[in-house]
A and B are shown apart, each in its own frame.
Chain A
C-alpha cells in the first residue's frame, strides 16, 4: 500500500488576521462598492469638520461679531463675514455640528417611533394593526412641513434637542408602514412559532425574533431619516423657525436670504452652507443606496 498515495488529511485552514479584516470589510467576498467608501469618506470629513473643527482650530464663539456687513474673505475671516459681521467659517463649523445633531436626533426619534408602531401593528395584527395603521395613514396625509411649522411656532424657545424631536415626531409614518409590511412577512416564520412555544411574550418576540431580522432595513431607514431630518431643519430654519440662540446651516441661509446675499454678491454667506447641506444629503443617500445593494443581493452589481 502506497502510503504516499493516500490522500492527505485536510487540515483546517488558518486565517491570517489581516485576511479576516479584509474579508470582514469585503463582507465575505460580497464586496463593498466604491460608493460606500465615497459616502463614508464624505461623511467622515463633515463629521470631523463639525465635531473636531472647533476644538482643533481653537474654540471660537460663532455668534461673536468680528467684522462688518458681508466683509469678503480675508486672512482673518477665511470665508468672510455674514450680515451680523460674524465669521462665516466658524459658523459653518458650529452650524454643521448643529445640523448633524438635529438630524441624528430626528432620525433616531423617527426610526424609534416608526419601528415601534410598525412592529407592533405588523406583529399583533387585528384591531391593533387597524388602529395603528389608521393613525399612520392619517398622519401620512398631512404634509409634515405644516405640522412642523405649527409645532415650531407653538414652542417659543427651541433648543437643538427640541428641534430634533419635533422633526422626528413628524417623519415616522413611512418607516412605520414599511416596517409593518416586513414584520407581517416575518410573523409567519417557524422560529417565531418555536419562540412562542417556549413562552416568549410580544415584546420579547419583537425585540429578539423580529427586529434583528430586519436590522439592515431599519438601519437604512434611519440613514434616510437622518438625511431628511437635516434637510427639514434647514427648511424650518430658512423660514426663521429654526433653533433659537444658536447657529445652524439653515439659519445661515435664512439670514443670507433676508439680507440679499445673492444680489449683493456675498457668495460666502450662502454658498458654503448650501454646499455643506448638499454634501451631507448626498453622502447619506449614497450610503443608503450602497448599503441597500449590500444587504439586498438582487440589487448587487456584477
Chain B
C-alpha cells in the first residue's frame, strides 16, 4: 500500500502520505476515474486515480529560467487538480501534470486543445480547434477546423495533425482513445481544414465518437511522429516542454506549483478573443484543508476541491465566495456513484433482496450529510435528472418502477417476498437459514464523502434488519478487486455526463458483452450482471437518430435496471466541484449568469474570457 503513496508524493512519512492519499483521491476520484473508463476496452495504462504523478520515483524536475513572479491582479490561481509534484506533461500519460491531462471528462484546453469542447449544461459540443461538426448522414461526420490554427511553436495545425493523433489508436494500444476504430471505420483528409469520419455502420454510436472528438487532445505531428515511430510506449514518454496549441504556455513547474503564461500569439485570439489572466498558477497543496483555506482567504480564485459546508463562507463569513447555485445543491450533478451489488454471490443473486436494500437506504440523509448538501436526493434512475441528461429523465418511470427511501416497504419485501424472519438480534434470516449479514461494503480509504455515504448505508440497513459492515481499503487494492468482480457490495464510479451519456452509463452497468469472467479485469459491468435483453436495446439507443426514440429506449433500459437493481445510485456528484472567490477576479459564471458552464475543462475554458480583474 505504501508504494502507491510514494508513487504520488515521493514521501515516506506515513501520516502525511496517508492524509495526502485521501485528499488526492477525494478530489479527483470520480472525475479522473470516469476518464479511465470512457473508452478503455483494452486499457493499457495503470488505472490509478487522477491527479497523481506517474511512478517515476521522487525525481523532481523544475524548468530552468521559469517565471517566478506573478503579479496578483494578473494571475489566476487554480486548485484541486494537481496533487504531488508534476513530472511530465505528456497528455497521454495517466496522471500527467495539470493541465495536460485529466482524461475525457475534464479535458483542459489551456495547453493542448481538443476539436470541440463539451458543455455539461447543454450536452452540446462547442467549437475549439474545430469550427463545425456536420453529419450529412447518420454514419458520416465532417469536421472543419478554424482558419489559422497553429502550434505554440508557430507551425500550422492542420488536418494532418488531427488524423495523426487519432490514427495513433491503430498501432498504439496504450493511448487513451484506443477504442476509436471500434466505432470509426475511416478518418480521412478532405483538405488541410477538413476531416471526414466514416463511422462503423454495424456499431453506429455517434455519441461515443463525439466523446472522443471532445476528449482527445490533438498532438503536433511534427513533434510526436518521431516519438510514435521510435517504438517507445507513448504513455511513458516524459515531456517537460510541451508544445500545444492552446492559449497558455507552460512557463514553470516545481513541486510547489505549475505556472502558465498567456500566449499572445495564440491562433484563437481572432476567434475567441483574449483570456483575461496573463498567468495561471496551480499551487500544489499538501492537503485539502490547505487548499480550502487558500480559497477562503482569496489566495485561490477557483477550486475543484470538496469544501464541506461552503455556504458558510458567504452566509456566515460574508466572503465573496460562490458556487454555481446559491442554494443546495450548489453544484450541477455530473456523475452517479453507484453501490454495486455482486449479483452472483448468494444471497444477493435475488433481485428482491437488492430491492429491499434499495428501499432501506436513506438517500436524503446521504445527500445532506455525506455530500454536505451538494447532491439532490438520489433517484433510482441511471439518468442524471439535471443538466445535459435531463431531457432523457423520465420521472413517471421512476415513480412506477423505481424505489425510494421506505423502510416499511423494505421490511415488507423481506418478510413477504423473501419470507425472511427476524432473529433475536434484529437481523433477518432467510427461509434457507441464511442470516442477512454481516455483509461487507467497501470503497477506497480517503474518499471521505463516499466513506460517509457507506457508513450511512450500513446504518440504514441495520435499521431494517440487514447487517452491513463498512471497510475502506486503499484505492489501488479496490482498483484491482472491483473490476475483477471480487467484492460483495462496493461503492464505485461509472461514466459521468458526456456526449456519450447516458448511453455509456447504461453500458457500464448493464452490458455483459466484452466482460470477462470473475477474476479477470472488466472495464464495465463489474458485478457481472447478465440480461440478454439489454444488448439490443443498448445498440439501438446508441444508433438512435431522434431524441424521442433515444428517450424511449433509455426509459426501457432504466426500467430493467430498476427491476433488477444490480446497483443502487446513492447520490450525485458534480463532474467538477466549481467554487470561486471574487476577491481578485470577478464576473464568474453561475446559475444567475450562465455565460459559461461550471467546468474548467471542455467548454468551460470560456470562464477565462468572461472574468475581469477587480482593480
User: Measuring CB to CB, which residues of chain A are less than 8 angstroms from any residue of chain B?
Assistant: 63-65, 68-70, 83-85, 145-146, 149, 153, 156-157, 238-240, 244-245, 257-260, 262-265
Nearest-neighbour CB distance to chain A for B311, whole angstroms, equals: 11
- Contact B14 A149, beta carbon cutoff 8 Å: yes
Chain B residues with CB below 8 A from A244, complex form: 469-471
Given known contacts A83-B369, A145-B14, A258-B22, A69 and B309 CB-to-CB distance under 8 angstroms:
yes
- In the bound complex, what is the Cα–Cα distance between A239 and B445 (angstroms)? 10
Given known contacts A259-B308, A259-B448, A69 and B14 CB-to-CB distance under 8 angstroms:
no
- In the bound complex, what is the Cα–Cα distance between A169 and B24 (angstroms)? 33
Chain A residues with CB below 8 A from B254, complex form: none
The answer to the question of B459 belonging to the interface, with a C-beta cut-off of 8 Å to chain A, is yes
- Contact A240 B369, beta carbon cutoff 8 Å: no
- Contact B455 A264, beta carbon cutoff 8 Å: no
Contact among B1, B292, B369 for A153, CB-based, below 8 A = B1
- Contact B309 A70, beta carbon cutoff 8 Å: yes
- Contact B312 A264, beta carbon cutoff 8 Å: yes
Contact among B289, B452, B459, B469 for A63, CB-based, below 8 A = B459
- Contact B289 A84, beta carbon cutoff 8 Å: no
Contact among B19, B289, B452, B469 for A263, CB-based, below 8 A = B289
The answer to the question of B288 belonging to the interface, with a C-beta cut-off of 8 Å to chain A, is yes
Nearest-neighbour CB distance to chain B for A248, whole angstroms, equals: 15
Contact among A83, A145, A157, A240 for B472, CB-based, below 8 A = A240
- Contact B292 A157, beta carbon cutoff 8 Å: no
The answer to the question of B113 belonging to the interface, with a C-beta cut-off of 8 Å to chain A, is no
Of all chain A residues, the one with the shortest Cβ separation from B1 is A153
Chain B residues with CB below 8 A from A258, complex form: 22, 446, 448, 451
User: Measuring CB to CB, which residues of chain B are less than 8 angstroms from any residue of chain A?
Assistant: 1, 14-15, 18-19, 22, 288-289, 292-293, 296, 307-309, 312, 365, 368-369, 372-373, 440, 445-446, 448, 451-452, 455-456, 459, 469-472
A-B contact pairs, 18 of them (CB 8 A): A63-B459, A65-B365, A69-B308, A70-B309, A83-B308, A83-B452, A153-B1, A157-B471, A239-B14, A240-B445, A240-B472, A244-B470, A245-B470, A258-B446, A259-B452, A260-B308, A263-B296, A264-B312
- Contact B369 A65, beta carbon cutoff 8 Å: yes
- In the bound complex, what is the Cα–Cα distance between A85 and B373 (angstroms)? 13
Q: Add 11 more A-B contacts to A146-B14, A258-B446, A263-B296 (CB < 8 A).
A: A65-B365, A65-B456, A69-B308, A69-B309, A69-B369, A69-B372, A83-B308, A84-B456, A239-B14, A245-B469, A259-B308
For the A-B complex, the count of residue pairs with Cβ-Cβ distances under 8 Å equals 69
Of all chain B residues, the one with the shortest Cβ separation from A67 is B369
Chain A residues with CB below 8 A from B368, complex form: 68-69, 85
Of all chain A residues, the one with the shortest Cβ separation from B309 is A264
- In the bound complex, what is the Cα–Cα distance between A153 and B448 (angstroms)? 18
Chain A residues with CB below 8 A from B14, complex form: 145-146, 149, 239
Contact among A239, A262, A263 for B18, CB-based, below 8 A = A239
Of all chain A residues, the one with the shortest Cβ separation from B448 is A258
Of all chain B residues, the one with the shortest Cβ separation from A82 is B369
Nearest-neighbour CB distance to chain B for A236, whole angstroms, equals: 11
- Contact B455 A84, beta carbon cutoff 8 Å: yes
- Contact A84 B469, beta carbon cutoff 8 Å: no
Chain B residues with CB below 8 A from A239, complex form: 14-15, 18
- In the bound complex, what is the Cα–Cα distance between A54 and B446 (angstroms)? 31
Given known contacts A157-B469, A245-B469, A258-B22, A263 and B293 CB-to-CB distance under 8 angstroms:
yes
Chain A residues with CB below 8 A from B308, complex form: 69-70, 83, 259-260, 264
- In the bound complex, what is the Cα–Cα distance between A146 and B12 (angstroms)? 12
Of all chain B residues, the one with the shortest Cβ separation from A64 is B459
Chain A residues with CB below 8 A from B452, complex form: 83-84, 259
- In the bound complex, what is the Cα–Cα distance between A239 and B472 (angstroms)? 11
Chain A residues with CB below 8 A from B440, complex form: 156
Of all chain A residues, the one with the shortest Cβ separation from B15 is A239
- Contact B1 A262, beta carbon cutoff 8 Å: no
- In the bound complex, what is the Cα–Cα distance between A83 and B455 (angstroms)? 11
Residue from the set A63, A244, A258 with the largest chain B CB neighbour count within 10 Å = A258
Contact among B312, B448, B471 for A156, CB-based, below 8 A = B471
- In the bound complex, what is the Cα–Cα distance between A238 and B445 (angstroms)? 12
- Contact A262 B22, beta carbon cutoff 8 Å: no
Chain B residues with CB below 8 A from A68, complex form: 368-369
Nearest-neighbour CB distance to chain B for A244, whole angstroms, equals: 6
Residue from the set B22, B289, B308, B456 with the largest chain A CB neighbour count within 10 Å = B308
- In the bound complex, what is the Cα–Cα distance between A156 and B14 (angstroms)? 20
Nearest-neighbour CB distance to chain B for A265, whole angstroms, equals: 8
Of all chain B residues, the one with the shortest Cβ separation from A85 is B369
Chain B residues with CB below 8 A from A83, complex form: 308, 369, 452
- Contact B471 A263, beta carbon cutoff 8 Å: no
Given known contacts A145-B14, A239-B15, A263 and B292 CB-to-CB distance under 8 angstroms:
yes
- Contact B369 A84, beta carbon cutoff 8 Å: yes
Q: What 8 A-B pairs have minimum CB-CB distances, sorted nearest first?
A: A258-B448, A263-B289, A260-B289, A69-B369, A259-B308, A85-B369, A239-B18, A264-B309
Chain B residues with CB below 8 A from A240, complex form: 18, 445-446, 472
- In the bound complex, what is the Cα–Cα distance between A69 and B456 (angstroms)? 13
- In the bound complex, what is the Cα–Cα distance between A257 and B448 (angstroms)? 10
- In the bound complex, what is the Cα–Cα distance between A244 and B438 (angstroms)? 13
Chain B residues with CB below 8 A from A85, complex form: 365, 368-369
Nearest-neighbour CB distance to chain A for B27, whole angstroms, equals: 13
Chain A residues with CB below 8 A from B365, complex form: 65, 85
- In the bound complex, what is the Cα–Cα distance between A259 and B445 (angstroms)? 14
- Contact B448 A262, beta carbon cutoff 8 Å: no
- In the bound complex, what is the Cα–Cα distance between A265 and B365 (angstroms)? 22
Chain A residues with CB below 8 A from B472, complex form: 240
- In the bound complex, what is the Cα–Cα distance between A245 and B459 (angstroms)? 10
